[in-house]
Every structure is written in structure tokens, then in C-alpha cells.
Amino acid sequence: MSSPSEASAPSSPASGGSAFAERASEKVLARYSALPKKGKPQGREVTVLAAFLFSSPSRELEVVSLGTGTKCIGRSLRSLRGDVVNDSHAEIVARRALMRYLYAEIQRLKMSYGNDGNDVRDCKSPLEPIIEGHDERKYRMRVGWQLHLYISQLPCGVASPPSPLPQKIAAMIEGNEVEVPSMVKDTEGRVAEDILRKHGTDLPIIASVQRKPGRGDTTLSVSCSDKIARWNIVGVQGSLLSYFLEPVYLSSVIVGQSPDNPEDILVQNKLQHALYERISCFPLEQLSPFRLNKPLFLVGPIPPVEFQHCENAAATLTCGYSLCWNKSGLHEVILGTTGRRQGTSAKGARYSSTESSLCKRRLLEIFLSLKHEGAANEPCNETAYLEYKEGAQSYRLASKALKDTPPFINWQLKPLNHEAFTISS
């Protein structure tokens, strides 16, 4: 297997990684502070903050999308029309806001680049058109530009698990929640209890995919740790954007230091394990242009108190809203427990005005508007969201290969009818 492509450091961890992490954190917090109060935690409430930043070859650093939130909806509230946001955790909200920013950048570049073939490049954009080879009419990240992810705390899931007690490890293995080496199994493949007792929590277990918890109503959303790990294979752009954009990978992941755990190395080790080591056995053959990406893992300063969660989850009062923003003009607030815009009433829940710009239906709209530009003579037939996803063949094959690889084989697949909706194009 070919070696992973490691991101070139914005500054090496030894000589300046902490300085870069501090600078990125300051940029994100300043951008958040500049936004109105609506949707932010009130009183004792706390939330999680995530943001994507681009750095240029001249080391300029800019926040391009931002999200907050800790909620996701249960299975019973999911819509067959693609008009709700199922997962409103900060990392996912920020990533969808990033996707809308990338769509807007491609649309802007298409206008500035023109249809006459003139090479009018925008030096301030992180993207550029491909003007040679079989990928002509697509876009890619410009050389020297890098994408960074900031999170105010460790992402949910494998990166931030409660340490399992020794007596619970056997049950976790039995429930396929973790994988363990053969050294802890007997000749019939069962867990050897005596070895478990001997090694306890020192066992080299590799956690499998985890679902986000729901209050009585099971969710279908996998953890942020699992989703970010997946981005290190297929990129952050998603399947529909891959029609227009080559894979976009993270150069660094910056996590705010916990006031309860000041050890940077422990945070970095958890990130390394959850977001990279679990995918290091991914089969790379014949999956170009996708690759195994290894970002830098950095620790930023302790975030403000509204982003500090108590170790005891019962003592934490989380904000129910998710705030989303991007550089191209997006700014809205989503109620995380309904997946719709703030202020939506029960009676008005089916109106399009209550839909978030981040729901699949709205993302399909912007995809179709871009797809049909320059294709005026092509018939505009109604095609299901799922069919467009399946049509991104290289992306689909890379994603499937990941989900066929331990420890991702228990990835929760969505019911097909949840993505079978269409819109008039």
C-alpha cells in the first residue's frame, strides 16, 4: 500500500504548531463574537463551536464557515423529503456551511473565468478551474492553499469516549463496539476472560462506528469522529460537489484544550487514533483521485466558558440551537431537535420557508443550478437525490470501500427511501 499523503505543516508542531493553533482559534472566536446574539447559548447553557479556515501561500488565514450545536434528530423525525437537517452537531453544520461556500466559489469563478476560454484566475480564491486533461470543467484546490478544521472540544465518538472499565470490555467486544487483537481470544475466537482481567484498559482495542445518542428515539447519525475520519478518505466536499470539485482534504485539525485535561499529548493521541489510525488500513488501490489523508493534529487554547462542558453530562445544560454562517452570505439558526429554522411552529413545519439552507433538499437545489449552467440544451428531468449520489461513481466506490473495512463495517446505512426525493429542476 502506498504511504499516506501527509499535509505539509502550516508550521511544524515542534517549531510553531501551537502558535498556528492559537492563531486559528483566535480567528474563529473573533468571527463567532462578531455574529448577533440570536442562536447563541444563554445563561448557563453551553455548546460546541466548529469552523473551517483556509490558509493561503502567504500564510493569510481566514474563517470561511462556522457552526455550533450538540443536537441531532431521532429516526422517527427524519423526513422523506430531504427538508430537515438530521445532524446539527457543530462539526456537521460547519461542514455543510463550507459546502455552500464551495458551491458559491465555483459559481463565482465560472462567471469570472468566462465562457470564452480566457484564463482569468482569482488569486484570492482557494479554488481554480482545471484547464487541462480529462477533468476539464472541474475545479480543484490551488497549490499552496490549505484547509483547516477547528473544534472547541474533542469530537463525539471514539475521540472522546469515557474510559471503559475492565469489566465492560468483554461486553463491548460481544456487541461489536470494539475490535481487539487475537491475543485476547481463545482457540474458538471467544474473549479470554483471564487476559481481559490481566490487561484491563491497556488492551489495544480499536473502536468501531458509534451512533450519536438520542433521548428515547434512536438516531441514525454516526458520531463526528467517524464522519471526520471518513473525510480523510473521501474529502470534505461530499458526493454531489465531487461532480465539480476534486477531493478537498484537511491539512490540520485543531481542538480546544480541555480545562479538565491540560495534557496536549493526550488530546493529540486521541485525535490520531480516532481520525487517522482507524483508517490507516484502507485499501488505496484503484481509488484515484481519493487517498488516505493524514492531517496535523493540534491543540488550541482553552475556549471561552460557553464552550466548556462539564465532565458530568447530567450537569451540562446544552443550547438547543445551531448557528451556521459562511463567508458567502449564509447566516441562520436551526433548532437542533427539529432540524428546521428557529421559530418554526408545529403547524408551519411543512412550509419551504422553514427549511434550513443546509438540508439535503436545498443542497440539491444549488447542485442542480450549477449542473445545468452551460447545459441549456439538455432536458431537465426530475432525478432523485439518491440517483445523483450514486452517479458520483468514484466517490461512491471510495465510500463503500471504507465501509467494507474494519472498524467501519457497522456504519449505519440510511434507508433508501430517505434519499429518494426529487425537486423540479
Give the DSSP H/E element, type plus range, for residue 362: helix 360-371
CA 255 – CA 17 distance, rounded (Å): 12
Give the three cell numbers for residue 321.
440551537
Query: Which class for 134: exposed (0-12), middle (13-18), buried (19 or more C-beta within 10 A)?
Result: exposed
Q: Beta strand pairing status for 296-300 and 250-256?
A: parallel
Q: What's the alpha-carbon Rg for the chain, to the nearest Å?
A: 22
Active-site residue flag, 91: yes
DSSP state of 215: S
Residue with cell 477533468: 135
Catalytic residue among 91, 105, 246, 306: 91
**Residue 244 burial (CB < 10 Å; 0-12/13-18/19+)?**
buried
340: left (phi over 0), alpha (psi -120 to 50) or beta: beta
Contact of 324 with 50, CB cutoff 8 Å = no
DSSP state of 16: I
Catalytically annotated residues: 91
